[in-house]
Chains A and B, each alone.
Chain A
Amino acid sequence: MNRPTFGYAVAALAAAASFAVPLMLDRSQLTIFILLGTAVIVTTGLSLLMGYAGQVSLGQGSFYAVGAYTAGLMAVHGLPTLLGLAAAPVLAAALAALVGVPLLRLRGHYLAFATLAVQLILLSLVGQFEFTGGDIGLRGIPQLGVGDATLIDPLAYAYVTLAAAALVLLVTRNLIKSRPGRGLRALASTEVAAESAGVPVGRYKLAVFSLSAAYAGLAGGIYAFYLGYISPGSFPVLLSVQFVVMAVVGGLGTVWGPVVGATLITLLVQALNSLGTMPGMPAYAPDVLSYAVYALLLILVLLFMPRGLLPSIGSRLEDRRAISPTRS
């Protein structure tokens, strides 16, 4: 089987599986499924940003929050919910474009701190303002719907999330294959080389930064409608770190890496959560376990599989395939 066909087969299989899986889940499992879907969406953008523009964002949670608050506020004020969901990625991208102009002049290490700072500032502002509900948050966000028909069933939300994730993956795949995508690849190797090859480095970086923010915004919108309640506490710095862990573990700059990374981390954290809440465990056990897992996965993958889980395993399989004909 050649590579493209193999890829399509895997994609078709994954699509079929993710379409079938929600039907088999109970309510709480559906919640996990939806959170996983939103994590895939955010991580796909972050992976693009880290893998192609070589920029680490520790503030992806801020765009997630902007999307959630945009959707939530619009819906609370009686605007059509679909409009809110559409505005969520737009506003997140607009904010990214705005802060990106000055911030993207910073090199890697500085940018990481700057995006973290942006998130902290945003959270504190959201906590101060009255119209955002302050520290208490925004309650009673209506359900997503068109006209009188609203989505109440978590199963419906699962499919909305699935559709959004599919859209994001498709856009990302097409982007990577496109001409600008190849320019971005040059950007990933070295900025100077890309610049001298005529790639408009600054504009591309800003575009990827905004796109990744749009993804996060979209995910945030879904999150707000599904839970119906958001507060500054829903978007801690640790959430941004979690997205970085998912992106790094899955493998940067690939289409499927974020899916693998987000799925693996989400399932692992869930498993540890149920372990940590077992009788006899101390109250802090769930937190401690998830901190330890994020940390260890991040460190071990970076040290021993720097390209991420998926590309590392993929190239190992390829090596085997390349070797086997000569052996036989």
Chain B
Amino acid sequence: MSALLQYVISGLALGCTFALVGSGFVVIHRVTRVVNFAQGAFPVIAGLATASLLTRGLPHGAAELVAILLGGVIGLVVGVVAIGKPGTPPLASLVITLGLAIFAYAVEIIVWGDQPVSFPGLSGTVNVAGARIQQQYFLVIVVALVTFALLELFFGRTYLGKGLAACASNPYSARLVGISVTRMGLVAFALGGVLGGLAGVLVTPLQAVSFDSDVTLAINGFAAAIFGGLMRPMMALVGGLVLGVAEALVAGYYESAFQTEVALAIMLTLMVWQASRRSALEEA
């Protein structure tokens, strides 16, 4: 019983980080229709940067904040390269983000080397119904939930959020009322970078990251985002939690090597299911 509880809570925490990465995919895709293959680079860079900043003596909190902002700046840079040039078709933008993800490898290896890096998060454990659970898990869950609530408020209540939603809803009309769709796309990329950075800062104390952790992070984030058809951030949260718990249970009770495969299989099934439903709708 205590083992089950432990798996579920660690799964929820891991799922929250997937959801944060996934919400970055969603925010960027909604506004720009581009699937950002560099999404996995944001958490990696933020995680690596936090570790460096902490060793340079920056206190906890400040280091994480700087790393998250760095994620936002890099998101903006990715956006400028991927969609900044007028007339770049979305599929070209996708391959460009792939190129940027590879470019990030080069930069990360030069700056941080190719070995996995971690840093301590919240130390100490909590006793829940006989299970000893790391406090960091709870920190991850709380921060992620607060972030999603803020995200919902941002899109639902603020004028800038509405402007982003307008670009997603009808780009032509958005331009007609004077919204610069490209500029909103860059805002989305920056926000995607911040969300990815936040995920990295939260996950690195739980799992060490290295430059090539981005594939796993991006795959899991994308799988979470697929739950909402890449359009709804809240569904990415649901997707992330489902994935996280499923993976933790598979790893706990069956075989940890199959952890990512669970995400991949769920993602493929969902994508194909959504596509067949969509074409059925179109035929009707």
Any chain A CB within 8 A of the CB of B90?
yes
Output the least CB separation between A24 and chain B (Å). Answer: 33
Output the least CB separation between A281 and chain B (Å). Answer: 12
Q: Which residues in chain B, 246-275, are within 8 Å of chain A measured between CB atoms?
A: 257-258, 260-261, 264-265, 267-268, 271-272, 275
Chain A residues in 8 Å Cβ range of B114: 284, 287
Any chain A CB within 8 A of the CB of B91?
yes
**Given A124-B261, A299-B103: A284 and B109 within 8 A (CB)?**
yes
Any chain B CB within 8 A of the CB of A244?
yes
Q: Are B113 and A294 in contact (CB under 8 A)?
A: no
Q: Are B102 and A241 in contact (CB under 8 A)?
A: yes
Interface string of A292-314 (1 = CB under 8 A from B): 10111011001100100000000
Of the listed stretches A100-108, A211-219, A222-230, name the one at the interface; the rest are far from the partner chain.
Answer: A100-108
Task: Give complex CA distance A63, B215 in Å.
Answer: 19
Q: Which residues in chain A, 277-295, are within 8 Å of chain B measured between CB atoms?
A: 284, 287-289, 291-292, 294-295
Any chain B CB within 8 A of the CB of A116?
yes
Any chain A CB within 8 A of the CB of B95?
yes
For the complex of A and B, list the 5 residue pairs with the smallest distance between their C-beta atoms, beginning with the closest. Answer: A295-B103, A298-B99, A109-B35, A291-B106, A292-B106
**Given A102-B272, A237-B215, A292-B106: A109 and B99 within 8 A (CB)?**
no
Q: Which of B103, B215, B257, B265 contacts A128 (CB 8 A)?
A: B257
Interface string of A57-99 (1 = CB under 8 A from B): 0100000000000000000000000000000000000000000
Q: Are B268 and A56 in contact (CB under 8 A)?
A: no
Output the least CB separation between A99 and chain B (Å). Answer: 9
Chain A residues in 8 Å Cβ range of B90: 108-109
Any chain B CB within 8 A of the CB of A264?
no
Q: Are A105 and B94 in contact (CB under 8 A)?
A: no
Chain B residues in 8 Å Cβ range of A124: 257-258, 260-261
Q: Are B260 and A120 in contact (CB under 8 A)?
A: yes
Q: Which residue of B lies closest to A109 (CB)?
A: B35
Task: Give complex CA distance A292, B110 in Å.
Answer: 11
Q: Which residue of A lies closest to B36 (CB)?
A: A109
Q: Which of B88, B109, B110, B267 contacts A113 (CB 8 A)?
A: B267
Which residues of B line the A interface, CB within 8 A?
29, 34-35, 37, 81, 85, 88-92, 94-96, 98-100, 102-103, 105-106, 109-110, 113-114, 215, 219, 222, 257-258, 260-261, 264-265, 267-268, 271-272, 275-276, 279
Task: Give complex CA distance A292, B211 in Å.
Answer: 14
Any chain B CB within 8 A of the CB of A114?
yes
Any chain B CB within 8 A of the CB of A257?
no
Any chain B CB within 8 A of the CB of A54?
yes
Q: Could you give 13 example pairs across A and B, Cβ below 8 Å? A: A106-B272, A108-B90, A109-B91, A110-B275, A112-B35, A120-B260, A248-B95, A287-B106, A288-B106, A295-B105, A298-B98, A302-B95, A306-B89
Chain A residues in 8 Å Cβ range of B265: 121
Chain A residues in 8 Å Cβ range of B276: 102, 105
Q: Which residue of A lies closest to B113 (CB)?
A: A284
Q: Which residue of B lies closest to A58 (CB)?
A: B98
Q: Are B219 and A117 in contact (CB under 8 A)?
A: yes
Task: Give complex CA distance A298, B95 in Å.
Answer: 8
Chain A residues in 8 Å Cβ range of B37: 112
Q: Which residue of A lies closest to B94 (CB)?
A: A109
Q: Are A108 and B102 in contact (CB under 8 A)?
A: no
Chain A residues in 8 Å Cβ range of B88: 302-303
